[in-house]
Chains A and B, each alone.
Chain A
Amino acid sequence: AQRVTQPEKLLSVFKGAPVELKCNYSYSGSPELFWYVQYSRQRLQLLLRHISRESIKGFTADLNKGETSFHLKKPFAQEEDSAMYYCALSAPGNTPLVFGKGTRLSVIA
Chain B
Amino acid sequence: KAGVTQTPRYLIKTRGQQVTLSCSPISGHRSVSWYQQTPGQGLQFLFEYFSETQRNKGNFPGRFSGRQFSNSRSEMNVSTLELGDSALYLCASSLVPGRETQYFGPGTRLLVL
Chain A residues whose CB sits within 8 angstroms of the CB of B102 once the complex forms: 46, 97
Known: A94-B55, A94-B56, A96-B33. A45 touches B42 (CB 8 A): no
Interface residue ranges of B39-95 to A (CB < 8 Å): 41-43, 45, 48, 55-56, 58, 90, 92
Q: Contact flags (1/0) for A68-109 with B, using CB distance below 8 Å?
A: 000000000000000000100010101111111110000000
Report yes or no: B105 in contact with A43, Cβ–Cβ below 8 A: yes
Docked pose: A83 CA to B92 CA in angstroms: 19
Report yes or no: A101 in contact with B104, Cβ–Cβ below 8 A: no
Report yes or no: A46 in contact with B48, Cβ–Cβ below 8 A: no
Chain A residues whose CB sits within 8 angstroms of the CB of B97 once the complex forms: 94
Docked pose: A86 CA to B42 CA in angstroms: 9
Known: A32-B99, A86-B42, A90-B99. A97 touches B104 (CB 8 A): no
Chain B interface residue count, Cβ-Cβ cutoff 8 angstroms: 24
Docked pose: A88 CA to B21 CA in angstroms: 24
Known: A43-B104, A44-B104, A90-B98. A96 touches B42 (CB 8 A): no
Chain A interface residues (CB < 8 Å from chain B): 32, 34, 36, 43-46, 49, 51, 86, 90, 92, 94-102
Q: What are 26 inter-chain pairs, A to B, with CB distance below 8 A?
A: A32-B99, A34-B101, A36-B104, A43-B3, A43-B104, A43-B105, A44-B43, A44-B92, A45-B103, A46-B102, A86-B42, A86-B43, A90-B98, A90-B99, A92-B98, A94-B97, A96-B33, A96-B45, A96-B48, A97-B102, A98-B45, A99-B42, A100-B42, A101-B41, A101-B42, A102-B42
